[in-house]
Structure 1
Amino acid sequence: RASYAERFSHVMVDEFQDTNPLQNELLCLLERGNLFRVGDERQSIYRFRHADVGLFREHRASAAADGRERSITQSFRSRGEVLDAIDLVFEGLWGDEFRPLEPGPEAWSSEPRMSPCVELLVTDRHKGRWDDRFEAQGAEGVEPFGSAMRGVTPWRAAEARLLARRVEELTTRGPFSYGEVVLLLRATTHIGVYERALEERGIPTYVLGGRGYWSQQQVGDLRAYLAALANPLDELALLSVLASPFAGISVDTLVILASSARAAHRNLWSALGEIGAGGAGDDIPEADAKCIEAFVERFGGERAAAARISIETLIDRVVTGSGYDRAILAMPAGDRRMANVRKLMRMAREFEAEEGRDLRGFIDFVAERDLITEREGHAPLEAEDLDAVKLMTIHRAKGLEFPVVCVADLGKGGREDDAALRISDDGRLGIRLASLEGEASDSAELSQMKEQGKLDDEEEERRIFYVAATRAQEHLVLSGATDLEKLSAPAALEEPMRWLWPTLAPGLAEMGARGEAREPYGHREVVVRCEVLRPEAVDDLLPAHDREPARPEPEPPGLEALTAPALAAVPVPEALPVSRLSYSSLARYERCGYRFYLERALGLPATGEARPAPRPGEANGEGLPGLVRGTVVHALLERLDPSRARLPEPEEVAEAIRVTGEPVREADVEELISMVAGFTGSPFFERLANARRVRAELPFAFTLDTKGGSLLVDGVVDVQAEEGDRLLVVDYKSDRLEGREPSVVVAASYSTQRLVYALATLRSGAPRAEVVYVFLERPDEPVAATFGASELPQLETQLLGVAEGVLAGRFEPSRAPHRGLCAGCPGQASLCVWGPERTQAEEPPPVGVVLGVNAG
């Protein structure tokens, strides 16, 4: 403690009112009579983070007793008219404890741009009166406040429409610009209601913070699409995609599909595949059957290409290819919706720049970001200083200031914590007890704790409103709903408008639709412009064309938009750095450095059919493609338990093939079972069964130190087993050997992979590493190499030599191009130095170079 405390001559803590007991305890440990605390108890609004305003009060009282307290009550932010209104409200709420804000020297120096500077927009909160007013329209299915407000509580819809019209009057027809206005809300729950109300009047908006981005429909659609692309057995994701504009299938048909798939004990993707092949039943409408056929064909093609193109391109292809972009651009705020799509594409590009191409990884990354990110705003169309009305929470606005502040949704009441169990800070326990009659009642301790918590919450709600109101520089609009006919005194956690209007405008209940309230304050008068929206007189203040405004058409661009600006020449940039590699990345780089750069660093998508030329027996639809064959057999072997070998059932193999989107052939099923059977009958499988610990699909990662920093190398091994003083690493290969010796194939194609596996194993602390390749075509001839811990420096040097070209930014085309290597390369058509006579040539016979290792 002393060593830390002595490091600081002085310690200053700002926003001290928001500290919690633990933070305060840590600060006290540092204090040597040199701790300077700055704060304002009226701005303590983080109780949900365990902030305790009582700590501030205790320290302030202690400092005051020692003559070490200084108060600053002068405000240099707001106009005098705004400060007087704030002081009037809170002097009535907090009494003698409240110290009024004194206006700064500029507070009265100029005439206001619009007078009065304070406004009160009050909407009747009684739902029954609104229902009675629009009963006839409701019976006809007509939304009284427009289709954009469908499902919104009538009084909140009315308030949002009224506030949006007033913002239009202050901006479009008034002295303020859009960018000078902010709407502040207690929470993000209903922020979309106010955003839509503004946008439908042609007012540009910009949402800062909140969880609005992740809740946007287009973002959810794309997340579901990517999840289904990665795993079509994820039925929630697949159903979400089918119901979206990506497929456009009716809900009735989705119910039929899901029910029939469950009845047949099959997954939904398999059922879709049958319909896509023309097997739709009579119970599926013809239009939906055509949509399913088109979707299955398009989706299957995208799944086949997903591993070879960037995630950003996957999103772009489905959005443009399915017409999704046209569908969302035709909706209200279509440009904002499309910007959210582009934002997700940008996230994908940034993810791949750091992590490499990993669709499943990106899906998990987005899900984690959604879970832990407190405030993810909608995608901006411009910078944050664009000329648009901003919407944000009051907490987000703390410390900021704006010319015009509209505090909205003041009809939203607080929420009481109704937990059945509570533990107080001083250790008291409160619990809800069940009776023999099945009812429950709070214990005396719980009742006391709840009552005190309710009072504390109410006090903080008032401080939150204080923070919101004090953000205003020139103009303050207070908007909300309450029951003006409710005469009882406001209870704790009732809507803020309940206690607000009696102070600012005591005669509001008798006022007409519009008026002014004047209240004396000191030697001045607080003038408040008032609007009161009641159901019975709604047409006087909010006529039909304001309840559902016609969205104005955008103005056509002027002639200046047709003139392209002069652009300076862009210098040739350095090659993008690579900080993370896997074996597959290194292998792609070794095959062709230029294609690696185009796809990995630049993120260019593969073009056309990116599959290499088929092997003999795969042409004309005979046999599974090599990549699919390997994927399926690896999936089957992953489920294999060496301690009790069990061959997969034919239906299990068939289902594994269906998941890939390939047709199931009996010959393929038999071949795959035969491959697994050959391996389980081999001596090496018996060796695995006798190993001490066997783990399948084990991920690894290690770093290599380079001249420019460090390089992360990662990957996954098929099997790792502990055997005596060594770790055994096994890699299955489903390659067709075509007469070649397994050892020659390993030396020619997998030497770098073997090097990576050996390093990863030795880096884990194993004294010896044995890397074994098992070719399932000849499982009795495993290819093994053993490495000792003493060889670690030599192996690191070798791997750095392999990766040296990547680290140095050398991305040269392959010296031996051929059709299998160049198929689908984004540079083949016009960027590559090789012409089609080389890039479309047949593959030359394989030649291997054996990596120097100790046989073992």
Structure 2
Amino acid sequence: APYAETLVAFLAGKSAYGKADPYSELEKSVREVVTALRSSGQAWGDVAERYASPGAARAYWQKVLSAELPEEAQNRFDVGGAEPLGARLVQACSTAKVPVPSWLKALGKLDANDGRAEDEGLLHSCGLVGLALLAWEKLDEALEARQELDFSALEARAVQLVATRPVVRERLRRQYRVAMIDEAQDLNPVQYQLLRTVDFANLILVGDAQQSIYAFRQADVRMFQAAAKETAVFPLTRNFRSDLGIQKFIDATFLTLWRESYRPMLATSAPIDLDVEDTASWDGVEVWPEEAKGRSPLARGISELRAEGWTDRISVLVRGRKGAQKAKEALDRDGIPNRLVGTSEGFYTNLEIRDVANALRALADPCDGFALLAMLHSPIAGLSLDSVIVLASSEDPCETIDTFEPVLPRDAEVLARFREWFLPLRGFADRIPAWEVLAELYAKSPYLENLARRPDADQRLANVRKLLALASGDPTKGPMRFADEIREIGRLAHREGNAPVDVAMDPPPVEIATIHGSKGLEWPCVVFFDTSDKLTRRAWSLQVDATQGLVSTKFGGPNNVMHAYLSQRRKERDLEEELRLLYELADR
């Protein structure tokens, strides 16, 4: 990666990323580029050729961006000009007397700085892509060495197999005379390529472009829409799930937002003015307004529903993990029973899981003082913070624990019970599997008993039982290795969901789920919690268009023309996706 050193040197010492250091930002960017390009079917060699040098990248950027101009401006574009690309694109529009595209306007005044921004953007983009290609290579080599395939590799191998082996292709055609693909609006480019390569005699795509909500997995709704234009379409618009008033509200809202592209459920529906319409006219629809201060509208609204006699299930649907946590905190403050359902809550970052990881390390490594101290203050032992601080001040807490006298009288009994099970188990924990250590820990320590007294006890207990089940999945894994994996997976924000909780309550607890996690489900009552949140987030230092193999960076420097183009397209796609999320939510 000949340009990577320049990028790393540029990032050195910068602090423009909030809590993230520049190298963490770079690592995250490399991961995003590799994931996007591999899962979209881009060929490693094609990407390497496009970003082999700033000159090669400039030629590719020019090809893509000039094609985005109005046809009259394309004919006036100076292909070989010496001016910066952005300036030549604006000049072509001016000469052709056509409006300048909005993404070009976003650059602002184009002067000498534009040339420097473009050169810097090209150089850093080549450096980042070079690092991503190296990581891509290493990943493929590691998968090959372990004889494993991740999902992207599995898809790519399937396409390669069908494309290069006619006998396989013909066998699939004979074996499957009809291929029916459900949720086809969420297929990615590689999956479409597989279908085209097999070329089934009869292909049925079942889907709804209005419910395409997996762009973050490279789903491309445009391919589904293009397929619909090339074949017979049989619309199925009748809704068997929602009440009539809700259907009318959905139709009126989305006829207003999407106009002629929306397929209404009811033939009599018409657009509305979303700013002045009285929702009281829509039976089954309520609006709970935000208040500047005081009680959360979510807690207030659900309390009023319960007070009115509503005893059936209620689901609060949110966009993601942050919204789920915010909703949970609002309900917890009012004492309203609730539980997270399939929200990819960050299982490995839960405190009860981190407590167990510390216990495994303290048992397997007699020199890990930090893990020991953390475990002592956790529900595994329950030692007071005062005693933990005094123990930490000793020369070696791991040695001192055998004879340590706590500063508080109540801690003497706690520490005595801790020594009864901890010291014998520490003597052989490093020689038995992780699952066996966990079984001993749960059986002999007061951990489960102490967890049962905590808020969300049912969920916490379910999570630690799930951890034991995960450890049992690999009986050869030792406690140290399992503890390290928990820490690493947590650091990488692995999206393992919390364990399901089966506790009967009347009325049932409020269920908090993400919109993505609710797909295919339904509830008698649904609350959309974070409607007031901004749709557009911070400016991105990285932009990737996987379908075209485009990558652009702006690590704290001025904007460049490709970054402006990709940022505008991303905002448009994100808004479209948010509206489809709203549509998906309204039909739950």
State whether TM-score is above 0.5.
yes
Match of 1:163 in 2: 298
Match of 1:100 in 2: 264
Distance 1:103 1:163 in 2: 34
Q: Secondary structure, in 3 states, of the residue corresponding to 1:209?
A: coil
User: 1:245 and 2:379 equivalent?
Assistant: yes
Contact 2:212-2:221 within 8 A present in 1 as well: yes
Distance 1:202 1:419 in 2: 39
Counterpart of 1:79, as a letter, is D
Q: Secondary structure, in 3 states, of the residue corresponding to 1:42?
A: helix
Match of 1:463 in 2: 580
1:80 offset after TM fit, Å? Answer: 0.7
Matches within 5 A, 1:480-495: none
Q: Secondary structure, in 3 states, of the residue corresponding to 2:554?
A: strand
1:234 offset after TM fit, Å? Answer: 3.9
Query: Counting strand residues as a fraction of each chain, which structure ranks higher?
Result: 1
Contact 2:211-2:581 within 8 A present in 1 as well: yes
User: 1:381 and 2:502 equivalent?
Assistant: yes
Q: 1:275 to 1:13 in 2, by over 3 A?
A: closer
Match of 1:445 in 2: 562
1:458 offset after TM fit, Å? Answer: 1.1
Counterpart of 1:182, as a letter, is S
Match of 2:182 in 1: 14
Q: Secondary structure, in 3 states, of the residue corresponding to 2:197?
A: helix
Deviations 1:565-620 (A, max 9, x none): xxxxxxxxxxxxxxxxxxxxxxxxxxxxxxxxxxxxxxxxxxxxxxxxxxxxxxxx
Contact 1:253-1:288 within 8 A present in 2 as well: no
1:403 offset after TM fit, Å? Answer: 1.5
Query: Counting helix residues as a fraction of each chain, which structure ranks higher?
Result: 2
Contact 2:348-2:486 within 8 A present in 1 as well: no
Q: Secondary structure, in 3 states, of the residue corresponding to 2:234?
A: coil
Match of 1:575 in 2: none
User: 1:300 and 2:435 equivalent?
Assistant: no
Q: Secondary structure, in 3 states, of the residue corresponding to 2:245?
A: helix
Distance 1:18 1:426 in 2: 18
Distance 2:477 2:205 in 1: 49
Deviations 1:153-188 (A, max 9, x none): xxxxx43xx3234324434642442xx322211112
The CA RMSD over aligned residues, in Å, is 3.8
User: 1:42 and 2:210 equivalent?
Assistant: yes
1:75 offset after TM fit, Å? Answer: 1.1
Deviations 1:63-90 (A, max 9, x none): 2xxxx12212111111110011111211
1:60 offset after TM fit, Å? Answer: 1.4
Q: Secondary structure, in 3 states, of the residue corresponding to 1:430?
A: strand
Q: Secondary structure, in 3 states, of the residue corresponding to 2:207?
A: coil
Q: Secondary structure, in 3 states, of the residue corresponding to 2:320?
A: coil
Distance 1:358 1:205 in 2: 36
Distance 2:419 2:358 in 1: 16
Q: Secondary structure, in 3 states, of the residue corresponding to 2:461?
A: helix
Q: 1:398 to 1:309 in 2, by over 3 A?
A: same
Q: TM-score, normalised by structure 1?
A: 0.42
Question: Which one of the candidate residues 364, 370, 385 is aligned to 1:230?
Answer: 364
Distance 1:330 1:461 in 2: 40
Q: Secondary structure, in 3 states, of the residue corresponding to 1:410?
A: coil
Deviations 1:701-726 (A, max 9, x none): xxxxxxxxxxxxxxxxxxxxxxxxxx
Counterpart of 1:191, as a letter, is A
Distance 2:315 2:249 in 1: 19
User: 1:123 and 2:290 equivalent?
Assistant: yes
Match of 1:208 in 2: 341
Match of 2:154 in 1: none
Distance 1:316 1:197 in 2: 35
Match of 1:340 in 2: 463
1:58 offset after TM fit, Å? Answer: 1.3
Distance 2:397 2:571 in 1: 54
Contact 1:430-1:444 within 8 A present in 2 as well: no
Deviations 1:80-120 (A, max 9, x none): 1001111121111111211211289xxxxxxxxx9941111
Distance 1:303 1:253 in 2: 21
Q: 1:335 to 1:416 in 2, by over 3 A?
A: closer
1:34 offset after TM fit, Å? Answer: 1.9
Q: 1:175 to 1:383 in 2, by over 3 A?
A: closer
1:17 offset after TM fit, Å? Answer: 1.1
Q: 1:343 to 1:224 in 2, by over 3 A?
A: same
Contact 1:423-1:430 within 8 A present in 2 as well: yes
Distance 2:364 2:561 in 1: 54
1:272 offset after TM fit, Å? Answer: 3.4
Match of 2:534 in 1: 413
Q: 1:415 to 1:360 in 2, by over 3 A?
A: farther
- What is the percentage of aligned positions where both structures have the same residue? 30
1:225 offset after TM fit, Å? Answer: 1.1
Q: Secondary structure, in 3 states, of the residue corresponding to 1:17?
A: helix
Q: Secondary structure, in 3 states, of the residue corresponding to 2:177?
A: coil
Q: Secondary structure, in 3 states, of the residue corresponding to 1:99?
A: coil
User: 1:28 and 2:196 equivalent?
Assistant: yes
Q: 1:175 to 1:319 in 2, by over 3 A?
A: same
Distance 1:423 1:192 in 2: 29
1:61 offset after TM fit, Å? Answer: 1.9
Match of 2:226 in 1: 58
Question: Which one of the candidate residues 318, 329, 349 is aligned to 1:185?
Answer: 318
Q: Secondary structure, in 3 states, of the residue corresponding to 1:29?
A: helix
User: 1:397 and 2:498 equivalent?
Assistant: no
Contact 1:83-1:103 within 8 A present in 2 as well: no
Match of 1:454 in 2: 571
Match of 2:309 in 1: 174
1:311 offset after TM fit, Å? Answer: 5.8
Contact 2:348-2:354 within 8 A present in 1 as well: yes
User: 1:431 and 2:553 equivalent?
Assistant: yes
Contact 2:463-2:498 within 8 A present in 1 as well: no
Contact 1:221-1:244 within 8 A present in 2 as well: yes
Counterpart of 2:263, as a letter, is R
1:327 offset after TM fit, Å? Answer: 3.6
Counterpart of 2:426, as a letter, is R
Contact 2:181-2:205 within 8 A present in 1 as well: yes
Contact 1:339-1:381 within 8 A present in 2 as well: no
Contact 1:78-1:103 within 8 A present in 2 as well: no
Counterpart of 2:285, as a letter, is V
Q: 1:52 to 1:233 in 2, by over 3 A?
A: farther
Gaps of 5+ in 1: 105-113, 131-143, 145-157, 262-269, 434-438, 472-856
Counterpart of 1:102, as a letter, is L
1:39 offset after TM fit, Å? Answer: 1.2
Counterpart of 2:376, as a letter, is L
1:413 offset after TM fit, Å? Answer: 2.5
Instruction: Say which structure, 1 or 2, has more relative contact order (CA 8 Å, 6+ apart).
Output: 2
Distance 2:241 2:360 in 1: 48
User: 1:71 and 2:230 equivalent?
Assistant: no
Counterpart of 2:460, as a letter, is R
Q: Secondary structure, in 3 states, of the residue corresponding to 1:189?
A: helix
Q: Secondary structure, in 3 states, of the residue corresponding to 1:183?
A: strand
Matches within 5 A, 1:601-620: none
User: 1:218 and 2:352 equivalent?
Assistant: yes
Deviations 1:594-647 (A, max 9, x none): xxxxxxxxxxxxxxxxxxxxxxxxxxxxxxxxxxxxxxxxxxxxxxxxxxxxxx
Distance 2:427 2:448 in 1: 23
Q: 1:379 to 1:316 in 2, by over 3 A?
A: farther
User: 1:85 and 2:249 equivalent?
Assistant: yes
1:378 offset after TM fit, Å? Answer: 3.6
Gaps of 5+ in 2: 1-161, 269-280
Match of 1:661 in 2: none
Contact 1:394-1:464 within 8 A present in 2 as well: yes
Q: Secondary structure, in 3 states, of the residue corresponding to 1:74?
A: coil
1:22 offset after TM fit, Å? Answer: 1.5
Larger Rg: 1
Q: 1:414 to 1:251 in 2, by over 3 A?
A: farther
1:245 offset after TM fit, Å? Answer: 3.2
Q: 1:50 to 1:248 in 2, by over 3 A?
A: same
